[in-house]
Structure 1
Amino acid sequence: MSAPHVEEAGARGPLLLCLHGIGSSSAAFAPQLAGLAEHARVLAWDAPGYGKSPDPEGPLDLDGFADAAAGVIRSYGPSAHVLGVSWGGVIALRLATRHPDLVDSLIVADSSAGSGADEAKAAAMRARAAELADSGARAFAERRGPRLVSDLADASLVARVVDTMADAVRLPGYGYAAESMAGADLRAELSAVTAPALVVCGDRDTVTGVEASQVLAGGLHKTAYVIVKDAGHLANQEQPERFNAWVLSHLHIVTR
């Protein structure tokens, strides 16, 4: 499989790989690429089949996406701290159990254990590929993007979220991603994660929600759990200064 596209910032400090949500791309981490570059070597990928990354040669499951992320780490390596937002957090958790030697720590933001624990959520996730095929990326993004931020978000952020989604998603990659989420229920493997973790959630996240983050925090052994005030599902974009401060605090603790 061809290497995914990666945006880079920063020349020194710990390596931090950022994995975006299911409707997004590396563009979602612009606030982290800008705000953390003085303190870390920040990488943000376009997942296989997203944005500027080539389409995968065949179907990818959750293990396949985790292995692709492992390949990115190895190309910069030898290991990295991994920040995953939403679907990216699910990939990060699987990466941490599948390739524990590559993961120094985790930051899992506005995420969940996957949609596989709930039949209705899994079915809705699987239906997204057909919705994208029927409506096209722009209309798909205009329907889905605004709900990812809170009612406090300004119009410019909503527009950026919609534009990022419209530019990022396409088939077959989005369909593979949706299936990887629909089939995932990581609750039983959380206790196998050995890397220290920070679980972050916006207090106004209505997509995965605070409860899903609490499940992750409760299932992980070496974990801290924090709430980002006045943020929806995309806390890293809606409250970047607060979010970045928590990330830097975590990195300081785990690297000292």
Structure 2
Amino acid sequence: MRGHGESSVTGPFTFQQITDDIDALRRHFAGDDGKVIILGGSFGGFLAQQYVIQYSKHVDYLILRGTAPSWHHEAGALERLEERLWKAPLASKEMLVNGVFDKFQNDDEFRLVMFALGPLYAESAYDANAGLQKNLKTKFRAQVHNDLYSQDEKYFDYREGLKTVNVPALVLVGEKDWICPLEESKLIAQTLPKSRLLVVKDANHSVHLEQNKFVLENIRDFLKSGP
């Protein structure tokens, strides 16, 4: 994804541009009329929903992990943060509201905030040393984040669009997901006409890591079940 990981930092950084990038990748690997399986989690889940709404004829299956159908999930995330701040003593609600859900002053602030929030993402015992190493290896680009959370971009709402998607969908979520709370995945599953909801107990936003074997088994079963 442009501006993320090892991809080039080449604008524009908008939901529409990245959605079109996904379709360009589809055409490259599957041909103009080829179909693909779309899987997206968290912010990637926002993009996956936009893609399947716009390009549903090119999607065989949709898999969503720990995401939300609209920007309104921010209120629930703030509530969960306030309930669980004891898990992340270096974090604050201002870091979420003014940073993650708005903008960062620079890459360093972005990196420090995400390190402070790290303990909130898992239900298992948090390994601070491993968290530090992961944080140091991750590329944090404040400008890319800020563009995607600008006033023109952040107020996404797919709730009506999802009603038109006639694609088999698996919606999976950790029971204790803090930043895209369980209620958001329930709403997605209720809205998509052909969906299956999988709630994973004792798992958080990183459900695919915490319960990796269980999640992969269920994804395989879903894909084997056919449309």
Match of 2:178 among 182, 203, 206: 206
Structure 1 residue 226 and structure 2 residue 182: aligned? Answer: no
Of the three residues 159, 166, 177, the one matched with 2:130 is 159
Partner of 1:76: 29
**For residue 175 of structure 1, what is the amino acid of its counterpart?**
N
Aligned partners of 2:170 and 2:130: how far apart in 1? 29
Query: 1:201 is aligned with what amino acid?
Result: V
- Retained in 2: the 8 A contact 1:125–1:178? no
Segments of 5+ residues of structure 2 without an aligned counterpart are 79-93
Aligned with residue 64 of structure 1, among 17, 34, 47: 17
Deviation at 1:249?
0.8
Structure 2 match to 1:189: 161
Residue number in structure 2 paired with 1:33:
none
Instruction: Indicate the structure (1 or 2) with the bigger Cα radius of gyration.
Output: 2
The CA RMSD over aligned residues, in Å, is 2.9
TM-fit CA distance, 1:140: 2.4
Secondary structure (helix, strand or coil) at the match of 1:49 reads coil
| Alpha-carbon distance between aligned partners in 2 of 1:181 and 1:248, rounded to the nearest angstrom | 34
The DSSP-based 3-state class of the residue aligned with 1:213 is: helix
TM-score (norm 1): 0.70
Q: Which whole-Å CA distance do the structure 2 matches of 1:161 and 1:81 have between them?
A: 33
SS in 1 for 2:221: helix
Aligned to 1:149: 122
How far 1:56 moved relative to its partner? Answer: 2.4
Question: Would the alpha carbon gap of residues 227 and 101 (structure 1) be closer, same or farther in structure 2, given more than 3 Å must change?
Answer: same
Give distance in 2, aligned partners of 1:208 and 1:162.
25
Once the two structures are superposed, residues 210-231 of structure 1 have per-residue CA deviations (whole angstroms, 9 ceiling, x without a partner) of 1011000000000000111221
CA distance, structure 2, for counterparts of residue 165 and residue 221 of structure 1: 42
- Structure 2 match to 1:102: 58
Q: 133-142 vs 89-98, which deviates more?
A: 133-142
Cα distance in 1 for residues equivalent to 2:41 and 2:135: 15
Secondary structure at the residue paired with 2:179?
Answer: coil
Which residue type is aligned with residue 89 of structure 1? G
> What residue is the counterpart of 2:86 in the other structure?
none
TM-score, normalization by structure 2: 0.79
Structure 1's 145 and 190: CA in aligned 2 closer, same or farther, altered over 3 A? same
Give 3-state SS (helix, strand or coil) of 1:168's partner: coil
Asked whether the equivalents of residues 126 and 178 of structure 1 are also in contact (C-alpha less than 8 Å), the reply is no
**Matching of residue 175 in structure 1 with residue 146 in structure 2:** yes
Q: Which residue of 2 aligns with 1:50?
A: 4
Aligned partner of residue 196 in structure 2, secondary structure: strand
| Letter aligned with residue 253 of structure 1 | S
Aligned partners of 1:131, 1:79: CA distance in 2, in Å? 37
2:223 corresponds to: 251
Number of residue pairs the alignment of both structures matches: 206
Q: Structure 2: how far apart are the matches of 1:249 and 1:213?
A: 19
2:142 and 2:207 map into 1 onto residues whose CA distance is 27
Aligned-pair CA distance for 1:163: 1.4
